[in-house]
Each structure stands twice: as structure tokens, then as C-alpha cells.
Chains A and B, each alone.
Chain A
Amino acid sequence: MAMEITQFLLAAQSADARVRTEAEASLRQFQEQNLPLFLLSLSVELENNDKPAESRRLAGILLKNSLDAKDSARKDHLVKQWFAIDVALKSQIKELLLRTLGSSALEARHTSAQVIAKVASIEIPQKQWPELVGSLLNNMTQQGSPAHLKQSTLETLGYVCEEISHHDLVQNEVNSVLTAVVQGMNQSENTAEVRLAATKALLNALDFSQTNFENEMERNYIMKMVCETACSKEAEIRQAAFECLVSIASTYYEVLEQYMPTLFELTSNAVKGDEESVALQAIEFWSSICDEEIDRQEYDSPDSGDSSPPHSCFIEKALPHLVQMLLETLLKQEEDQDHDDDVWNISMAGGTCLGLVARTVGDGIVPLVMPFVEKNISSPDWRSREAATYAFGSILEGPTIDKLAPMVAAGLEFLLNATKDGNNHVRDTTAWTLSRIFEFLHSPDSGFSVISPENLPRIVSVLLESIKDVPNVAEKVCGAIYNLAQGYEDSGANSSLLSPYLTEIITHLLAAAERTDGAESKLRGAAYETLNEVVRCSNLSEASSIIAHLLPAIMKKLAETMDLPIISTDDREKQAELQASLCGVLQVIIQKLSGREDTKPIIMQNADDIMRLFLRVFGCHSSSVHEEAMLAIGALAYATGAEFVKYMPELFKYLQMGLQNFEEYQVCSITVGVIGDICRALDEKILPFCDQIMGLLIQNLQSGALHRSVKPPMFSCFGDIALAIGAHFERYVAPAVQIMQGAAQVCAQMDTLDEELMDYANQLRRSIFEAYSGILQGFKDTKAELMMPYAQHLLQFVELVSKDPLRDESVTKAAVAAMGDLADVVGENTKQLFNNFTFFGEFLNECLESEDEDLKVTARWTQGMIARLMHSS
């Protein structure tokens, strides 16, 4: 029997913290002591129309949270719990949930729909709730079903479709679901609420409808209903219908041909005259078509050789009208759109789509857009000028350089002048367009640039003038400088055209970073990252003294941040942000100057002071600083080499802290990387710290609380440490390998359908092999025999990986290398093992046929190592 829990549910939402905590504890206790009864009681509460809305709401939430969680381990646990519950009791719960769909309270129906979908996601794949679809459909077809029941039923169907895979239903069920949904969209028979629910359900059911879309009659019917619905009188329903069309555009691109005239008319009417929410979806329809066609074009590149899916050239066929339609959207700007990152309106969507169209059709777009640009760019109306500039900037990626170069060359001077336009929006878009020009039409390295020694002085002076403009414009100018500098990155060893302007550019960027007006932090970030790119891409022989001067200036700025008055957490955050930016600049400077022997001493001379600063930054206890300071320390360790050991006593506690920072796992991850850098710098001198480092690494790897993305770098770090300390790794080898074996086992059990998980599995496996390689190489000539007990596991693991078709090339390479290391290092003792593991011959052959040169070289080396082994007597 269900328990009466209304009072607890209400108390758990009390304003009085004491009451609330107590009630929460009682609920939790109930849940722990008797989960089945708890869930039943919640379902009873949710179903009971006499109960208060608040208690029903919480009951629904608790039910949902007992079935689903974001964290996958927790989710697995919940699923297992559910499976363990008595079948009869579960049917009771499910019956209550289904009954709730007919409740008079909208919210309870809505929650119930969600909970049913969660149960379905667990049970349907296991064929444990075969009657669900039938009873939902029954709600739809039964004579006299009230509209609100139909609405919630459709909502439920939509959620269920979203949660399960269409393989979980038989085609018959799919057909019935689809029929019910599409009938729910029928204008003459249903209320607006039902039609809206039906249209949203269809959106989720579309993925299910492969078979139905293959059948022309069914497809025609579905498309007819969607198109009709797209003309409903309720805007919200129209929007939902257009969302269906967007999804159809990408899922069923192949069969759209016959509907295109209708769809073009529908979308262009919507773009021209409908409410913004609908018009945005209509534009999105065309953006999705572009995505599909761009994908197909890339797939079709001559070197892939595969037969590509059909390309219907919809964009090309509709081009003149489509471009016209999009150009018109550009004139619908909002007054303040440049100030806010979250704005997404029709002109932005239109421009974004125009950019995609340009990438789809290339040269063909240019003659269609240029008349619009020419007509409007000098208009007295700022909207026309901005739209013209935006259109021009949008089509710079896609068409050939040959096609674009003459126009850009002709228009460049105009744009440079437009940086003085009287309107803020026009200047913003002008600066952005310049940055696009430098991004796509400025690569002296590959032989073409719109920038010549003649016009460069003018360009630089305009940019440095404009960077003083209002913050949103200045930020776009930073982008232009960024791309300008990047173009000169590989411009020969002798000289960079940008070198003469370097001091001035750096000065202006620093000034921009210092500004305090408006959205200064966004501008500051852009200015410092641009400074980094300018430094990174500079010609070191010409720039070394400038960078050498920049170094103390940045150090001074970093020192000054320590003295900022900190009163609020806001102050603390701003300080941290500023320190992060400055540490970033130091990282780039250190990397740049330590790249050559003649400039390295500059870093060496300043290393003590730099390190002292970093330690002070750590002292400020702000984790986002940790991250950037750590990165910079990695660069410093590489620069100073073994001398870095003198910083270790003081630095070490921060390394430990970083390793223990589970919450901010990026910090932990970067710390692990830096420890690798330090190992390479110190070699054996890292030894005194290894006990603690290894202890923490092992502890972390055993913890379930650490974000999984940090684990692969940790295994790689085993390898780094072993390479550094060689035979001394002996004391760690047993626990380290034990964990490696455990992780290898975990990899083998992962769900291969989950792409993200497979990506992680690949990283993990690669890192385990890297650890093996590091340890083996470290033991070479000294303690090789220590690895003998693990040789079998290593080969088993390689074998397992070799049979996995989903492994990526980097895993293969690491596996082959580790196998070679085993043969090389442990030698003769493994001969018998290799004899038992016959897979390797085929595996190596496969690698030798690879296209990847690196892999081939590695495989050949490994083959040599094993061959030597086999020939030994």
C-alpha cells in the first residue's frame, strides 16, 4: 500500500530551512528504506487530483530523478534499481502514470508524460512495457477522448520517441504512432493545444519515420500535413511545423526534390512576413540544406574515392531567389545588437545563412550579392550601409580567390574609410569584414595576399586608429589584427613585413587591454589573445628585442594585480581574469623566446622573477589563475631545463593542490601535463618528489569522483615519470600496472555505440600504451625483467585493441610501439609469448599498409624488434 506523504512533500518546499531539511531527510530515509513503496507513493500523489499542485510537482520531480540522471554511473545505478523492483508494483506505478495523463491539472499531465518517457527509455528496449504504445494510442482513438488527454498523450508519444531508438519498436507500432501524431495535427478535428502537441511530437518522431519516408504515398501525406500546419493561424504551431521542416531538411534531404517548390514558397513567405520566431526557423531550413550540401561536397572530394550520397543542388537551383530573400533580411537589424552576445535575430540568421550559401555554391553567389552591396553601401541610411557591408563580409569564404580578389582590392580602400562611418553598427561590421578579408585573402605564404608593402602602412594606421573606437568596434579590430598577424606567420626566415609596426601594434593592444569603458573585459580578452598571436607569429630575429622589452612590462602588470584592492568576490574574479590573461601572455613569450638558443638566455635571466610571480599568483588562490599560471610554468620548465629543480620545493605544494583539484578538473588536467613537462626538464632530479606524485596519481585514478577526461593524461604521466627516473620506477611498477590493467578492462566493457565514450576509450587506451612504453624504456638495460610478469597482459591488451574496428590511428600507433618496446626491452624472455600471440603478424601487416607514414615507420620498427627476437637462439 502506498503511504501518505503529502505533508512531507509540502514541508520539503517550506521557506523555513529547518522544516525543509527535516522533511527532506524523512523523504530520503523513506526512499532508502523502501524504494518501491516510495515510488508508488509518489505516483499516487501525482495522480491524485485532490492533492495540492505543489506536492504533486515535487512528487513528479522525485519520480523523474529516480529514473534518470545526467551522470552515467548514477543513471546505470537507477536503471538497475528499477529493474530490481517487483513487476506487479511497477505495473501499478505505470498504471497510475498513464491515468495521470487524463488529469485535469496541466502540470501533473506534463510531468507524467516526462516520467512515462523515462520509464519507457528503460523498459522498452528490454521489451518490458509492450502495452505502452497500445494504451497511448487507445487514448487517441477512443470515442470521446477529451482534448486534454489527447494533448498529454501526444506529448508523451513525442517524449517516448525522443528517448528510445526506432529499433525498439516494430514497424507496425511506428506506423500507428505516426498516424496518431499526424492525425493530431489535423486542423478540422482538433483544438489548438492538441495540434501543437502533435506537431511537437512529430518533431521527435521524425527519426523514427525512415520507412514511412521511403514510401511515396506516406511521405506525401506527412509532408502535406506539415506544410498545412506551417500555415496554421497560431504562431507557436507554425514555429513547431517549421522546426519539423528543419529536421526533415537534414534527415530526409534525399527525398525533398518534389516538395521544394512548395517549401521555397512557404519559407520565403515566412521569412518575409511572419513573426520572428517563425522566420528564424524558415531561415534555419535553408542553413540546414546548406549543411547537407557542404557535407556532401566535402565527402565527394576526389581523394576520398567513396561514392557520395546524392547531391540535389537545391541551393544552386534556388540561388537567385534565395539570395534575394536573405539579402532582404539583412536590413532588419536591431539597434543594439552588437552589444549583446546573446542576441539572435533575423538579420544575424540571414547573414549566417548567406555565409553558408557562399560556401555551398562558391563563385556563383558573387554576381548576385555585389549589386546589392554596390547599391546600398553608400546609402544615407545606416541600415543599408551596414547590410551591404555584412553581405560582403559574409561571402568571403567559399568563392575562389580569383573571383574575390579584384572586388576586395577595389573595395578595400572604401572599407578602410568606412571605419570612420558615423554609425557604430556600420563601423563594427566594417571592422569584422576587414578581419574576414585578412582571414581568407591574406596568406603570403601560399602566394596571395590583398595586402602589399604599398598598402600595409595605410592598413596598419587605420586599424590602430580604429582600435580606439568604442569597445565593440575595438574588439572586431583586434580580430582583424589577429588575422593580419597570422597571415605573416610563416613568411620566411628573413623578414616579416609586420616587423616595423610591431612596437606600435603592441602598444595599442596593451592600451586597448587597459581600457575601462564599456564591456572592457571582453575587449581585454580579445586584446591579449591578439597580442599573443602577434608575438607568436612574429619574426624572432627582428622581434627579439621588442619581445624582450615586452616581457618586463607584462611582468610588471602581473605584479600590479597583486595590489589590486579586493573587497568583493567580484573584485577577486576580475583580478583572477586579469592574471589569467597576463599569464597567458607570459606563456607565449616564454615559448617564443626559448625556441632559439640566442634568445633563450633572456628567459633564463628572468626565470627567478617570473617564477616568483607565478608563485604569488598561486597565493591568490584563484583556480582560473592556477590553470594559466600552470601552463606558463610548463613552458618555463622546458626553457630552464634541469635548473628548474630549484623552484620545486616551493612549487611542489601547488602541484599537489592542482592534482587534488577534482572540482575544476581542467586545472587538474593541466597540472598533470605540467608534471610531464617538469619530468622532461628535470630527468632524475624529479625523483625526490615522485613518491608523492605517484601516490596522488594512483589515488586519483582510483577515485570515482575525478572527471574521466583527466585519467588519460595521468596514465601518460606514468610514462613521463618512468622515462625520467628509469630504474627507480621499480617501486611503483606493481601498483601502476595494476591500475593500467584495471583501466584496460574498463575500456573493453564500454558501450561501443556511444561515440563520445568511444572517443574517451581511444584516449584512455592510447595513454595506457604510452605508460607501458615509458616504463619499458625506462627499464631498458637495467630492470627489464621486472616487466616480464606484465608482458602477457600487454600483449593481450594489444590483441584486444587490434581486433577493435573502432580504434583510431593514434591508438594503433601507441599499441604497435608498446609491443615493439616489449620485444626490444624485455627481449628473449618474451619470445615464447610472441609465439603464442599469433595475431601480431596480421596486425603489423595491416599497419604497414596504412596511409599514415608515422604508423608505418613505427610498425616497421616493431616488426624489426620482433624479428630480431625470433631469430635469436
Chain B
Amino acid sequence: MADDGSASNRRDPIKSSVGNVAGQRRRQQAVTVAKERRELLVRAKRLCRVGTNGDVEDALVENEMMVDEEQPILEAQASKSVEELKSAVQYQGKGAMQKRVTALRELRRLLSKSEFPPVEAALRAGAIPLLVQCLSFGSPDEQLLESAWCLTNIAAGKPEETKALLPALPLLIAHLGEKSSAPVAEQCAWAIGNVAGEGEDLRNVLLSQGALPPLARMIFPDKGSTVRTAAWALSNLIKGPESKAAAQLVKIDGILDAILRHLKKTDEETATEIAWIIVYLSALSDIATSMLLKGGILQLLIDRLATSSSLQLLIPVLRSLGNFVAVDPKAVLTILIREQNTEESIIGVLAKCLRSEHRVLKKEAAWVLSNIAAGSIEHKRMIHSTEVMPLLLRILSTSPFDIRKEVAYVLGNLCVESAEGDRKPGIIQEHLVSIVSGGCLRGFIELVRSPDIEAARLGLQFIELVLRGMPNGEGPKLVEGEDGIDAMERFQFHENEELRVMANSLVDKYFGEDYGIDE
């Protein structure tokens, strides 16, 4: 460290005394003994269960068989199958094509089998060069399809197994083109999607080899499984964190039209993959964001939210919506004003998500709402006047922590004017009074007690609003009534200085010596 004090090297002398080390060793031993006793106790309880349940032994044996015995068999079969493929590839005589396809199909079957396909064994036996060879131009469709399928399953394995596909990528990309048959192109897209899903390095390789344009063009048709698979692969390819792939995608003629068209009309499964593309585009590309907004995407997203009940679809749609709201709150306002309180209004669909049982959905919806609530006074009024309010208040007292925290952001934002400069934000008293009377204070004080610093700060900020902003100075009494003083006093010696100062100064200011005198 750049502090004073010489850093001269000095080590422990070889000649030392026994006292200190021995004491430490003895205390360490006491802790170890306690640990061993705990483990013994726990193990005894675990074993005793096995004894009382006769069938466990059987299950155990069965399971071991699957793992210990069946796995080696599978691996041996895979190696053998690759050997057969090798001889099939070398064979030039009559029926050579059929021989190759048969060998490929056998290998594909093995690689699709069981939860733990013998990918490693296949790779060790040298499958990749053979599969690449089978992908060569002019090969029959069936052969191309089977090889791409094998590669797809290999790419679904562990990272280093996925990486093994590198030599095959140029040909897989080549077969994406319009000259290929749809099933072949789709299978290749699938393999590429797996590779792209592995990580940024491989995504960069794919991009540099030109995988993006042909994949993008595959989603132009109106329907079909090819569109879905290609959209999925495409979303994997552009997912960032670097934005250059997203930027490249936007530049492809007609792509945004295709996206908007699919979002409007296509089936839910395809729409799900398309929505993921939108998630990444809206997060990574400003151009895409503004062009999609111009194309009316908000309404399309809201319509999907209103009509679908598929969780898989709702999550990316909701996240996209949040991305757009965060970028351009004004656009939302126009929608808010146009369609207040109908089922299709943005608040309506968010309320629907908040009501859902699914945690991710709830959390995302609250996040979107908090973005809206951070907007202008009109935004705040709009939210405040809708059905979503009682919902938010209920969530604040009943939901898991992370959702409560998001909801707290919404409620807090509703009570204050948007911050300008350094001064304390002005309070929107009407909102504050109605929210407090809705019983939210306890929820916020709960947050103050949370170990999460951010949540605690949120709670404290809200308490400050209540203390400062409730009419007739009834704030302090309300806070005290919900044990708020106790909650704040916990911060008296808190290590986080900001929270400590905030809590202490609130207690001093509102519950100082004069507090309660006039009662």
C-alpha cells in the first residue's frame, strides 16, 4: 500500500516458541470437533430415513445402474458409431450414400438419447471432421439434415463440446442460404443457435463469418417452424452485451417490418422468439428502438400482453415494453391518455401481470410501472387514478422481497415530483395521503429493516416523505405507530454512513426532545 511503513521483507524465524501456535491449534480443534459432531448427527438422521423406507435401496441401485453402467455402454456405442461413419465416408462403392445416411442416423439417434448424450465419446472418436465432410456442397438433403442434426446435439453439450463445432461453422452458415431446402436450413439454424448461445466469443466468430444476414432473411416468410427456429437463433446471436450484432440486424432491409408483422399476427410460439429479438434490439440499439416505436410497437406489445396467457411469451414482451418505456416515456403517455382504464391500456395489462402468480412476471411489471411512475406529473396522476393502486398496496405487504422492492419504487415515485437539481423533491400530498391511508407504511418500514441497503434507503426515503409531508403534522405519530422509530434506530451504528446519517437525522429532527410534549 502506498501508506507509510517500510515493506522490508521479514519472515518468521525457524526458532520459535511453542505457546502461541499450540493454543491456536487447540481452539481450532475444538471447533473441528463440534463440526464433526454436527455432521455425525445429520448423517445419522439421513441414514435412518433410508432404513425406514424400504424402497430407497431399490431406487438407489436402479439409479446407479443408469449412471454407472448404462453410460459406459452408451459411450462405447457412440465410438463404434463414429467408426462406422468413418468407414461409410471412405466407402465409394454401390449404395455409398445410403450407407452414410444410415451411419449418420445411428449416430444422431445416440446423440439424442438419454439426458446425458455421449457427446464426449463421439468427439474423442473424431466425429467432427466426418460430419464436416458430410456437409459438403452438393450432398443429398437427407445427409445434410442428419449431419446438421448431429452437430446440433453436439453443440448442446458442455462449452468445450460446443467449441468443437468451429470447423463446421462455415458450412452450416452456407446451408442457411435460399438455395437450401427448408428442413436443412432450419436444422443448420438450430445448430448455429446452439453455438451462439454458448457465449460471446463464439457469437463473434459467427458474426465474422456472416451468419447474421441469411439467418435474418429466414424470418421473412409468414409462418412455419423455420421462422421460429431462425428467430430463436437470431435472438441468441444478437444478445450482446456488445451491440454491434443488433446494429447490423437493423440495417437489413425489411427486418423491422417482418418483426412487427410477426408480433401482430403470428402464433404464440413464434411470437415468443420474435419478442426476444425485440428485447435485445430495444436494449442494444437506439435506431431500432426509435424505428420500432414509430412502427407502433407499443400497441402491439400491449395487445399481446392483454391477450396471451403464455408465460414464455409474456416475459419477453413485458421486458421489451419496459425497455421502450425507459427510453421514451412520452410515447407511453399518449397511450395512457388515449385508452385509459380499458382492458387494453398499458396500466391494465400491467395490472394483469401483477396479479399473475409468476414471480418474474410480477417483478418485470413492477419495474415497468416504476419507470412510468418516474415520469411526469401526468404519468403519476394517471397511475394513481387506476385500479392498479390497491394491487400495489397489497403486493407491498405480501410479496417476496424483490417484488416488494420494485413496488416500493413505484409507490415512492408516485408521491414525489420528479427530481430537479439538488433540492429535496416536492411532495405530491394528495398521492401521499391516499397511499399512506391505504396502509403502505408498514411495508416501507419492513424495507427499512431489510439487510439490502438499497431497499433500506427506499424505506427511509419514504419515511422522510411521511414525516415531512403528511398534513397536520401527523406523520411522526404514524411512523411511531408502525414501530418506525425502532426501525430507524437500528441504523444508529450502521456501517453504511449515508443510511446512518439519514436515519439519525430523521430521528433527531422529528423525534427529538420536543416530540410528544404537546400531548
B50 on interface, CB distance cutoff 8 Å: yes
Chain A residue with minimal CB distance to B497?
A: A77
Tally of contact residues, B, Cβ under 8 A: 56
Closest A residue to B55 using CB positions: A868
Among A118, A288, A746, contact of B2 (Cβ-Cβ < 8 Å) = A118
**Chain A residues whose CB sits within 8 angstroms of the CB of B49 once the complex forms:** 780, 824
* Given A634-B34, A673-B31, A525:B41 Cβ within 8 A: no
How far, in whole Å, are A432 and B22 apart by their CA atoms in the complex?
Answer: 16
Nearest CB of B to A482, in Å: 5
Q: Residues of A contacting B18 with CB < 8 Å?
A: 435, 475, 478-479, 482, 526, 529-530
Indicate if A821 sits at the interface (CB-CB under 8 A).
yes
User: Pick the contact of A860 from B20, B60, B450, B452 — CB < 8 Å?
Assistant: B60
Bound together, the chains give a CA A404 to CA B34 distance in angstroms of 39
Contacting residues, chain A, for B450 (C-beta < 8 A): 742
Asked whether, in the complex, the Cβ of B13 is within 8 Å of the Cβ of A344, the reply is: yes
Q: Which residue of B lies closest to A117 (CB)?
A: B2
Interface centre among B3, B15, B27, B31, by most A CB within 10 Å?
B15
Contact B495 A73 (CB under 8 A): yes
CA distance A287 to B13 in the complex (A): 12
Chain A residue numbers with a CB within 8 Å of B12 are 352
Contact with A along B492-507 (1 / 0, CB 8 A): 0111111001000000
CA distance A522 to B23 in the complex (A): 12
Q: Which of B14, B27, B56 contacts A352 (CB 8 A)?
A: B14
* Contact of A162 with B1 at beta-carbon distance under 8 Å, contacts A77-B496, A587-B30, A673-B34 already known: yes
Question: Which parts of B443-476 form the interface with A (CB within 8 Å)?
Answer: 449-452
Cβ of B34 and Cβ of A676 under 8 Å apart?
Answer: yes
B26 at the interface (CB under 8 A from A): yes
Across the interface, name the chain A residue whose C-beta is closest to B21. Answer: A529
Among the listed A32, A113, A525, A848, which residue makes an inter-chain contact with B19, where contact means beta carbons less than 8 Å apart?
A525
B11 at the interface (CB under 8 A from A): yes
A651-696 residues with Cβ-Cβ distance < 8 A to B are: 673, 676-677, 680
- The B311-326 residues at the A interface (CB cut-off 8 A) are none
Indicate if the CB atoms of B494 and A704 lie closer than 8 Å: yes
B59 at the interface (CB under 8 A from A): yes
Bound together, the chains give a CA A635 to CA B26 distance in angstroms of: 13
Judge if B92 is at the interface, Cβ distance under 8 Å.
Answer: no
Contact of B50 (CB < 8 Å), options: A352, A842, A864: A864
Chain B hits for A838, CB < 8 A? 115
Bound together, the chains give a CA A397 to CA B26 distance in angstroms of: 24
Q: A742-B452, A864-B50, A868-B59 are in contact. Are A243 and B9 (CB under 8 A)?
A: yes
- Which residues of A lie under 8 Å from residue B22 when comparing CB positions? 482, 526, 529-530, 532-533
B492 → A minimal CB distance (Å): 10
A719 at the interface (CB under 8 A from B): yes
Task: Report the count of interface residues on A (CB-CB < 8 A).
Answer: 95
Give Cα A117–Cα B2 distance, bound, in whole angstroms: 7
A821 CA to B43 CA, complexed, in Å: 11
Is A424 an interface residue, CB under 8 A from the partner?
no
Contact B63 A863 (CB under 8 A): yes
| Shortest Cβ distance from B501 into A: residue | A32
B7: chain A residues within 8 A (beta carbon): 203, 243
A246 located at the interface, meaning its Cβ lies under 8 Å from any Cβ of chain B in the complex: yes
Asked if A868 and B15 make an inter-chain contact with CB atoms under 8 angstroms apart, the answer reads no
Asked if A360 is at the interface (CB within 8 A of a chain B CB), the reply is no
- Decide: A432 and B15 in contact? CB cutoff 8 A: yes
Which residue of chain B has its CB nearest to the CB of A120?
A: B2
Q: Which one of A74, A522, A631 contacts B27 once the chains associate, using CB atoms below 8 Å?
A: A631
Bound CA–CA A522/B452 (angstroms):
46
Chain A residues positioned under 8 Å from B494 (CB to CB) = 703-705
Find chain B residues with CB under 8 A from A719 CB: 38
Measured CB to CB, the closest approach of chain B to A75, in angstroms, equals 11
- Confirm or deny: B437 has a beta carbon within 8 angstroms of a beta carbon on chain A: no
- Output the least CB separation between A112 and chain B (Å): 11
- Whole-angstrom distance between the Cβ of B198 and the nearest chain A Cβ: 14
Report B58 CB to chain A, min CB distance, Å: 9
> Is B34 a contact partner of A355 (Cβ separation < 8 A)?
no
Cα A464 to Cα B360 with chains together (Å): 73
- Taking the complex as formed, is B423 at the interface, i.e. its CB lies under 8 A from any CB of chain A? no
* Main DSSP-derived SS at the B contact region: helix
Q: Whole-angstrom distance from the CB of A520 to the nearest CB of chain B?
A: 12
Which of chain A's residues have a CB closer than 8 A to the CB of B495? 71, 73-74, 704-705
Chain B residues contacting A344 (CB-CB under 8 Å) are 10, 13
CB-based contact B38/A704 at 8 Å:
no
Q: A73-B496, A529-B23, A860-B64 are in contact. Are A394 and B14 (CB under 8 A)?
A: yes
| B63: chain A residues within 8 A (beta carbon) | 863-864, 867
Q: Would you call A113 and B17 a contact (CB within 8 A)? A: no
Name which residue of chain B comes closest to A523, CB basis: B19
Q: Which residue of B lies closest to A631 (CB)?
A: B30
Say yes or no: A246 contacts B13, CB within 8 Å. Answer: no
Alpha-carbon gap, A435 to B21, bound state (A): 15
A348 partner residues in chain B, CB cutoff 8 A? 13-15
Which of A476, A738, A777 contacts B401 (CB under 8 A)? A738
The answer to whether A680 touches B30, judged by C-beta atoms less than 8 angstroms apart, is no
Interface residues of A in 585-600 (CB under 8 A from B): 587-588, 591
Q: Are B19 and A522 in contact (CB under 8 A)?
A: yes
A404 to chain B, nearest CB (A): 16
Q: Is B496 within 8 A of A868, CB to CB?
A: no
A208 at the interface (CB under 8 A from B): no
* Residue A267 CB within 8 A of the other chain: no
- CA–CA, A530 to B450, complex, Å? 48
Quick one: closest A residue to B20, CB to CB? A525
**A711 to B116 CA separation, bound complex (whole angstroms):** 38
Given contacts A74-B497, A824-B49, are A868 and B9 in contact (CB under 8 A)? Answer: no
In the complex, A13 has a CB within 8 A of chain B = no
The residues of B that contact A393 with a CB separation of less than 8 Å are 15
Which of B56, B451, B493, B498 has the most chain A CB atoms closer than 10 A to its own CB? B451
> At the interface, yes or no: A723 with Cβ under 8 Å from chain B?
yes
Instruction: With both chains docked as a complex, state the minimum distance between the C-beta of A660 and any C-beta of chain B, in angstroms.
Output: 13
Known: A162-B1, A525-B20, A705-B493. A281 touches B9 (CB 8 A): yes
**What chain B residues lie within 8 Å of A184 (beta carbons)?**
none
A114 within 8 A of B: yes
Closest A-B pairs by Cβ, 4 of them: A159-B2, A525-B19, A864-B60, A529-B22
Q: Which chain B residues have a beta carbon within 8 Å of chain A's beta carbons?
A: 1-3, 7-15, 17-20, 22-23, 26-27, 30-31, 33-34, 37-38, 41-42, 45-46, 49-50, 53, 55-56, 59-60, 62-64, 67, 115-116, 401, 449-452, 490, 493-498, 501
User: Could you pull out 28 A-B pairs where Cβ atoms are within 8 angstroms?
Assistant: A159-B2, A246-B9, A284-B10, A287-B11, A344-B13, A429-B15, A475-B17, A478-B18, A522-B17, A526-B19, A533-B22, A631-B27, A673-B31, A676-B34, A677-B34, A680-B41, A701-B451, A738-B401, A742-B450, A742-B451, A743-B451, A746-B451, A817-B42, A860-B64, A863-B67, A864-B50, A864-B59, A867-B63
